[in-house]
Amino acid sequence: MRYRDLLPSILIGAVASARSMSPMAALAGAHLAGRRSPGRLVLLKQPLFTAGALMMGIGELFGDKMKTAPDRTVALGLLARIMSAGIAGAALALRGRERAGAAVAVATAVPLAYLTLAGRKRAMSRIGQIRSGLIEDAVIVSSAIAIVGWATRRR
């Protein structure tokens, strides 16, 4: 197995470090657009899961701007990142390499959650919570869409 084979999984783990639901929302959007993930993702065959992933992705973008939003490194935030990165990392890995894809995505998401939080806090002190969040949203959502688009193919 080559490093490049796991690159989409590593990159989606980086996305999950900043926005836990963006990887799943991007996969759900790709599924609705008729794209197929290289690894198996049985969950996307469930319309309720697809709709839920999209709604949670959108909800997270709004919730992040609230003053009461918890840090991404609290236990539940890390758990969400682990689950999302693992599922998305597996889906973006080559068939038969799903476990490796999940592992590298999680191994990327968790430590980067601390780094992206530190960066966000610096940005918040300079330009405020909403502006820094909108910039982070633009970078992370466009990255998630690009990574999933690159790693998936048309049916």
pLDDT per position as a tens digit, 108-152: 999 999 999 999 999 999 999 999 999 999 999 999 999 999 999
Q: What is the pLDDT of residue 139?
A: 97
76: its two tokens: 């539940």
d(CA 79, CA 113): 11
Number of domains in the chain: 1
Checking if the pLDDT of 3 tops 80, the result is no
pLDDT tier for residue 155 given thresholds of 50, 70 and 90: low
Checking if the pLDDT of 70 tops 90, the result is no
pLDDT tier for residue 16 given thresholds of 50, 70 and 90: very high
pTM for the full predicted model:
0.92
Q: Domain residues for 81?
A: 3-154
Over the range 128-146, which residues count as b (16 or more CB within 10 Å of their CB) and which as e? ebeebbeebbeebbebbbe
Q: What is the pLDDT of residue 88?
A: 96
17 contacts 116 by C-beta, under 8 angstroms: yes
d(CA 102, CA 86): 4
CA separation (Å) from 32 to 22, 47, 50? 15, 10, 8
